[in-house]
Amino acid sequence: MNPESEAATESEQTEVGTAQRSSDVDTTAADRPLGTPRVDDAIIEARDLDVYYGDTQALHGITMDIPEKQVTALIGPSGCGKSTFLRSINRMNDLIDVARVDGDLYFHGKNVYDEDVDPVALRRKIGMVFQKPNPFPKSIFDNVAYGLRVQGKDDGDVEGKVTTALERAALLDEVEGKLDESGLDLSGGQQQRLCIARAIATDPEVILMDEPASALDPVATSKIEDLVEELAEEYTVVIVTHNMQQAARISDRTAVFLTGGHLVEFDDTEKIFENPQSQRVEDYITGKFG
């Protein structure tokens, strides 16, 4: 179906990720972050995105592109809006009563805030992993199979899909032979990899991670970091982290948000950490504040 005929079927729910963007909204110079916020291979494009909680504005005019199959890190001091931006990508902010979004956010060129977008379908393509591992009180197998069953993808090969997801999440070796045991009996690091397996079982394109290693010990953290880098061969990963060394180690590009909900600079990770353009970013990454 071409973009024009898709646009014509306004009354139907659009399968996100297939349409073309109908208009490109440029941003004002004042809002434009330093660095190279626009890229050619973007899968997600935020344009002039504002997010409010009631009367409080948490994000101001965010314009940035997330490149496909790379790791993009979002860093910045507490309360600067990193999680808010992450949640706005797959419309998780819809679940917060007082949250309101202005501006545009395109996924494969389709504005995810268009009325014809089904947020549940969107979240199948843009999965999320949270700070605290949150496996269901079910077996390891059922945790991973859960999304497939909910989506009616229980097509006889659930076992194969569960095995593949556990393998991609670098957990299979540790749980083989005990898939019937409770996911809650795994260690914290294993639980987080189980949640990652659950997120990738349904074959999303993008995985959003909100400080996925902050509750883990250094060994488990290192496994998650290795995994994130591997995942980027097949998926687009956007990760919020408080840990600047972690952002420097695992990400291709880094976005620096600063107090008040402004994106100040977005560039290749190496550039951000070695030669940032903004003095405020330099001060932040050298630990002068934040």
Ligand X SMILES: Nc1ncnc2c1ncn2[C@@H]1O[C@H](COP(=O)(O)OP(=O)(O)OP(=O)(O)O)[C@@H](O)[C@H]1O
Q: Which of 17, 37, 81, 133 is the binder for ligand X (CB under 6 A)?
A: 81
Q: Contact between 23 and ligand X (CB under 6 A)?
A: no
CA distance 86 to 128: 9
CA pair distance 40, 281, nearest whole angstrom: 24
Between vectors from CA 109 to CA 254 and to CA 18, what angle results, nearest 5°?
120
Examine residue 111 and tell whether it contacts ligand X (CB under 6 A).
Answer: no
Among 4, 12, 41, 96, binds ligand X (CB under 6 A): 96
Q: Provide the terminal-to-terminal Cα distance of the chain, rounded to the nearest Å.
A: 49
Strands 34-35 and 99-107: unpaired
DSSP category for residue 20: P
Centroid of chain to Cα 226: 17
Binding mask 167-206 for ligand X (x = CB under 6 A): ----------------------------------------
Q: Which is nearer to ligand X, 81 or 103 (CB)?
A: 81
| Smaller CB separation from ligand X, 175 or 264 | 264
Q: Which of residues 155-174 bind ligand X (CB under 6 A)?
A: none
Give the range of 75-83, 148-156, 174-182, 188-196 binding ligand X by CB under 6 A.
Answer: 75-83
- Binding part of the chain for ligand X, among 39-47, 80-88, 195-203, 264-272 by CB under 6 A, reads 80-88
Which of 19, 66, 71, 80 touches ligand X by CB under 6 A?
Answer: 80
Of 3, 36, 38, 53, the one binding ligand X (CB under 6 A) is 53
C-beta of residue 193 within 8 angstroms of C-beta of residue 170: yes
- The span from the CA of 207 to the CA of 277, in Å, is 29
Using the contact rule CB under 6 A, the part of the chain among 77-85, 154-162, 201-209, 264-272 near ligand X is 77-85
Given the structure tokens 């992450």, which residue do they identify? 86
Nearer to ligand X among residue 53 and residue 136 (C-beta): 53
Question: What distance lies between CA 239 and its chain's CA centroid?
Answer: 6
The residue from 84, 236, 246, 269 that contacts ligand X (CB under 6 A) is 84
- The whole-angstrom separation of Cα 88 and Cα 114 is 13
- Which of 14, 27, 83, 269 touches ligand X by CB under 6 A? 83
CA geometry: angle at 82 spanning 228 and 63, to 5°? 100
Amino acid at the residue 176: E
- Name 286's Cβ contacts closer than 8 Å, sequence gap at least 6: none
Residue 58 touches ligand X, criterion: CB under 6 A? yes
Q: Which is nearer to ligand X, 82 or 161 (CB)?
A: 82
Minimal distance, residue 123 CB to ligand X, in Å: 18
**Number of residues this chain uses to bind ligand X (CB under 6 A):** 13
Instruction: Count Cα neighbours of 50 within 13 Å in the Cβ-side half-sphere.
Output: 11
Question: 235-254: which residues touch ligand X (CB under 6 A)?
Answer: 242
DSSP 103: E
**Site of tokens 């989506």:** 151
Which CB, 96 or 150, lies closer to ligand X?
96
Q: Which is nearer to ligand X, 76 or 189 (CB)?
A: 76
Q: Which residues bind ligand X (CB under 6 A)?
A: 53, 58, 76, 78-84, 96, 98, 242
